[in-house]
Chains A and B, each alone.
Chain A
């Protein structure tokens, strides 16, 4: 049997994701060490993060608040009573010999994250749980010939782990889900969402089964996917691999596999047969947490408007189409900038277009973020108003005035347009002079026009534009021109 004979469509993939999000706190989860990605090794440690005997952890309130925020954003239940647990395993980058996590009483349960694929109805991915835990240090295996080098800066950095039900059906859905998770954590400002630097990490549990079957297939865990695209690729590869395994009569091993981004394949890392025994038990060093309804309300009050609410506002209230609303809500800072423009102009569609085309184009070109954009939103509104008043054409605004506004912060868009000599001529006396001249230039064409060849209007328009060096207000010119020609004897 070759791959060509296999009917891949017979099978249905069953995927659950575990996402670890590193919290954007100033100090670690259970001690005060700061943490900065890329800091000198072993400079952001303390007796607590090093696991020295006799030390006691104390939990960071901000981590609890962040986890509650994420839970509220996903409509989860927030547990009123919780305690922490020790997950025991032996590894050199885990100095205590156990990870402080939550086992029986995760801070959030239930809830969902909605995803939307192109041309498909939205789908809710149910969350099993969100819990708080700590990161381990980093092991470097290939920097030294003989030893593994250990950097414990990351040991004790706060994480939340977001676990889905096995409801994801493809690499594409996994990609969409991760985009939503990243968007949410960035809106909430609880995690920077950077997969390349590992502040957002994703493990995928993947199995396949015949469509219609109720039983699950053997589950394989895939790790080490350091971008959203790689998650999608790894999942698609793994689904195919498993189906080929089944169809060729091979057994799928219950194992952990690693994604090799260069080759685009997954490779066996270790077997999960005789699964590890983590011997969870309640962490006696940290007192339990009681989260009251009032406390939750207090955290809720600190939350920003979420992308879903903004999307609804933009489509229902502002009348923008779904595509525009999506682009504008992709990033909280972009949405905020867009709304700042609206404080100074009522032309919503123009504001949306300027953000999505002119400004985003410039930012992409310069590899900048909107927060680094030097032009104030009110000045973009001024430019929009200038166009609406017919003082400059849209194309002149985009090609000449806008680029100058980025460099010139003291002059208003109007002053810049004056300086560049691109203000549209809407002085009808001057326009009339040019119109008269253009008519005198082509007496025969005037006759043809009057005989019904209306397309000749363009010729006279062109002439006026030439004489005005492109500054004639096209709308006014065409009006005056028609009027003049109609009354020309």
Chain B
């Protein structure tokens, strides 16, 4: 896969990031290097091998439906860059 300007634009859009000038050249190089590193995996023949999704054998790890309140509102809001006594605050967003 080729990392071209179009790919960078698409990734920037999805990641809500912006790269300009030198930054853009640098990220392009980094991504190209990372991708070519992973290209090595193509050397292995995976025909007929089921994709491995989970690294452990555990399954059906379920919890009983018991409520428990672990933190107070003040703690929940503590790390937010913008907040008031009740809410997290973010710039106006109307379009979802």
Residues of chain A whose beta carbon lies under 8 Å from any beta carbon of chain B? 25-27, 32-34, 40-47, 50, 58-64, 83, 88, 90-92, 139-141, 144, 146-152, 269-270, 277, 279, 282, 284, 286-290
Q: How many A-B residue pairs have CB under 8 A?
A: 131
A141–B66 contact, CB under 8 A?
Answer: no
Residue of A nearest to B88 (CB): A150
Chain A hits for B86, CB < 8 A: 40-42, 149, 151
B67–A26 contact, CB under 8 A?
Answer: yes
B89–A32 contact, CB under 8 A?
Answer: no
Nearest CB in chain A: distance from B11 CB, A = 10
A270–B66 contact, CB under 8 A?
Answer: no
Does any Cβ of A come within 8 Å of B1's Cβ?
A: no
Chain A hits for B49, CB < 8 A: none
A284–B89 contact, CB under 8 A?
Answer: no
Using a CB-CB cutoff of 8 Å, which residues 71-96 of chain B contact chain A? 71-73, 76-77, 82, 84, 86-96
Chain B hits for A270, CB < 8 A: 95-96
Would you call the interface of chain A mostly helix, strand, loop, or mixed? loop
Query: In the complex where A41-B86, A147-B89 touch, is A289 in contact with B60 (Cβ < 8 A)?
Result: yes
Chain B hits for A32, CB < 8 A: 63, 66-70
Residue of B nearest to A289 (CB): B60
B14–A277 contact, CB under 8 A?
Answer: yes
B63–A60 contact, CB under 8 A?
Answer: yes
B93–A41 contact, CB under 8 A?
Answer: no
A42–B93 contact, CB under 8 A?
Answer: no
A26–B14 contact, CB under 8 A?
Answer: no
Does any Cβ of A come within 8 Å of B54's Cβ?
A: yes
**How far apart are the CA atoms of A54 and B89 in the complex, in Å?**
23
A59–B62 contact, CB under 8 A?
Answer: yes
Does any Cβ of A come within 8 Å of B56's Cβ?
A: yes
Residue of B nearest to A94 (CB): B96
Chain A hits for B70, CB < 8 A: 32-33, 46-47
Task: For the complex of A and B, list the 5 residue pairs with the smallest distance between their C-beta atoms, beginning with the closest.
Answer: A34-B67, A62-B65, A149-B87, A150-B88, A32-B68
B64–A287 contact, CB under 8 A?
Answer: no
Nearest CB in chain A: distance from B32 CB, A = 20
> Could you show 18 A-B contacts with beta carbons less than 8 Å apart?
A25-B65, A26-B66, A27-B67, A40-B86, A41-B73, A41-B86, A45-B71, A45-B73, A58-B61, A58-B63, A61-B65, A139-B96, A147-B91, A148-B90, A148-B91, A148-B93, A152-B76, A284-B54
A147–B92 contact, CB under 8 A?
Answer: yes
Most interface-central of B60, B64, B95 (chain A CB within 10 A)? B60
Chain A hits for B62, CB < 8 A: 58-61, 64, 289
Chain B hits for A60, CB < 8 A: 62-65
Does any Cβ of A come within 8 Å of B4's Cβ?
A: no
Nearest CB in chain A: distance from B30 CB, A = 20
Does any Cβ of A come within 8 Å of B59's Cβ?
A: yes
Does any Cβ of A come within 8 Å of B20's Cβ?
A: no
Apart from A34-B68, A42-B77, A151-B87, list 11 A-B contacts with CB within 8 A: A33-B67, A43-B73, A46-B69, A47-B70, A59-B63, A60-B62, A63-B65, A83-B53, A148-B92, A284-B53, A287-B56
Chain A hits for B84, CB < 8 A: 149
Does any Cβ of A come within 8 Å of B46's Cβ?
A: no
Using a CB-CB cutoff of 8 Å, which residues 14-66 of chain B contact chain A? 14, 16, 53-56, 58-66
Nearest CB in chain B: distance from A141 CB, A = 6
Residue of A nearest to B71 (CB): A46
Chain A hits for B90, CB < 8 A: 92, 147-148, 150
Quick one: which of B59, B63, B71 contacts A47, CB cutoff 8 A?
B71
